[in-house]
Amino acid sequence: MKHSKRPMTAAILHAAFLVALTSCAAGPKGSVYHDSGMDFGAIRSVAVMPFENLTNERMAAGRVRDVLMTSLISTDAFYVLPPGEVARGAAGAGIRNPAAPSPEEVVKLGPAIKADAVITGVIREYGQARSGSATANLISLGLQIMETQTGKVVWSADATKGGISTWDRLFGGGGDPMNDITQEAVNALLDKLFE
């Protein structure tokens, strides 16, 4: 008895279509914390600290920090202190790890550089993700804002963009360029900040 391959192929494509639909229905990746007692309108100037890099890509933290600073400047919401000024202030304030300052160090840094808030960040993933023969660029990062008067975290959020889609797994591809998904992740975080 001969079996036709057509019904099996149609069933596989139908199943792949259903998987793609359900993966698109998932909610947004990431989470956010807003201190309800904080008046974000009082923040006039921010210092973006060097980011902590948990990836193998040496330049990831600097690249993402640059994209964030440029995006913040373009919003006109805050004055963003130049990186050199932030580095001098951190050294003068005796901050041991500028990527993860303590609340006490943030309180000390604020008046030294005339910043109302400090932004810190961590890059968890940056670069190509692989699954079988499929590859695509991926970024996962988290940001937090600390008020310089108290050293308290008043806002925190994370975002993940890129990665291997069902389409990439089934039909190949490579995802979006790293610069594009970095900008998407930063934009997603800024949307959460200004919502």
* Percentage above 70 pLDDT, the chain: 78
Q: Considering just the CA atoms, what is the radius of gyration of the chain in Å?
A: 21
For residue 16, being part of any structural domain is answered with no
Task: Please check whether residue 6 lies inside any domain of the structure.
Answer: no
Looking at the domain assignment, is residue 158 inside a domain?
A: yes
The structure tokens listed for 105 are 């160090």
The DSSP secondary structure of the chain, one letter per residue, reads: ----SHHHHHHHHHHHHHHHHHHHTS--S--EEE-TT--GGG--EEEEPPPEE-SS-TTHHHHHHHHHHHHHHHHTSSEEPPHHHHHHHHHHTT-S-TTS--HHHHHHHHHHHT-SEEEEEEEEEEEEEEETTEEEEEEEEEEEEEETTT--EEEEEEEEEE---HHHHHH----S-HHHHHHHHHHHHHHHHH-
Residue 11 domain-assigned?
Answer: no
Count up the domains in the chain and report the number. Answer: 1
In a domain, 122, yes or no: yes
Q: Is the predicted pLDDT of residue 16 greater than 50, yes or no? A: no
Enclosing domain of residue 148: 28-194
Please indicate, yes or no, if residue 124 is contained in any of the structural domains.
Answer: yes
Q: Tell me whether residue 94 is in a domain.
A: yes
* pLDDT tops 80 at residue 127: yes
pLDDT band at 27 (very low <50, low <70, confident <90, very high): very low
Per-residue pLDDT tens for 29-86?
Answer: 458 999 999 998 899 999 999 999 999 999 999 999 999 999 999 999 999 999 999 9
Which tops the pLDDT comparison, 151 or 19? 151
What pTM does this model have?
Answer: 0.80
Whether residue 90 is contained in a domain is answered as: yes
Query: What's the pLDDT tens digit per position in 154-190?
Result: 999 999 998 876 666 666 666 788 999 999 999 999 9
CATH value at residue 172: 3.40.50.10610
User: For position 8, what pLDDT does the model report?
Assistant: 42
